[in-house]
A and B are shown apart, each in its own frame.
Chain A
């Protein structure tokens, strides 16, 4: 069975949840020995998830977001996002049509493909009026990066 070590948890208000959760996850990944390049990718993941929680789950209304971080066997981190808003599953959001010309492009909609490209595994469940999203990220970066960030 995989060893799981709880390394931290924060609860934040939606007012500054994106900033606090991003900083928290970056610190956890850095402490776990992840490269700067992968830390930035994890920041992108957390920013997408939390901004979607604030916008979709809470619909822009005040609420709280909890984020916990566990170290798994090997160089992996499990991030668990919990919120108390309406049912919202980021994994069920449709992929936008990115193949259309500039005129037809939706200015937003890049967050979902970015999230999918940067995580290794993700699961969602609705439990006791909570949205619970668990995301597993491995240490290896997904994107090509500058040598200094490796």
Chain B
């Protein structure tokens, strides 16, 4: 499991790659959860790109839920993008799809949460 992190305007984009399981969930949490700090209102938003995640167990889902709850508690925003079909199904089983905003692509997510970040993303 690897996380690449970049900032686009007021959005912290976290690209996750690989497998999030019992063994890698702690590292996933260490990479993601510090970014929840300061995620309030329009000043800072989180976008989790899960396009390259091919396996996520409940240990990984737990980290996502902790981050989402942390953001909500601060009136912040965390959204997810590009979930593979199996991960989408796992989200449905856990009803994550009912409480988290998910988008088909990173671009669509940025368009929804930050036009400024989208402009930077499109510039490459």
The total number of A-B Cβ pairs within 8 Å is: 84
**Cα distance A48–B73 in the bound complex, in angstroms:** 29
Q: Is A28's CB within 8 Å of the partner chain B? A: no
Q: Is A129's CB within 8 Å of the partner chain B? A: no
**Cα distance A111–B88 in the bound complex, in angstroms:** 15
Q: Is B84's CB within 8 Å of the partner chain A? A: yes
A105 near B22: Cβ-Cβ < 8 Å? no
B88 near A113: Cβ-Cβ < 8 Å? no
Q: Is A102's CB within 8 Å of the partner chain B? A: yes
**Chain A contact patch, size range:** 20 to 34
Interface string of B92-109 (1 = CB under 8 A from A): 011110111000000000
Known: A44-B57, A102-B69. 5 other contacts (CB 8 A): A102-B68, A102-B72, A111-B57, A144-B85, A145-B89
Give the A-binding residues of B (Cβ under 8 A). Answer: 21-23, 54-55, 57-59, 61-62, 65-66, 68-69, 72-73, 84-86, 88-90, 93-96, 98-100
Give the B-binding residues of A (Cβ under 8 A). Answer: 18-19, 22, 37, 40, 43-44, 47-48, 51, 98-99, 101-103, 105, 107-108, 110-111, 113-114, 117, 143-146, 149
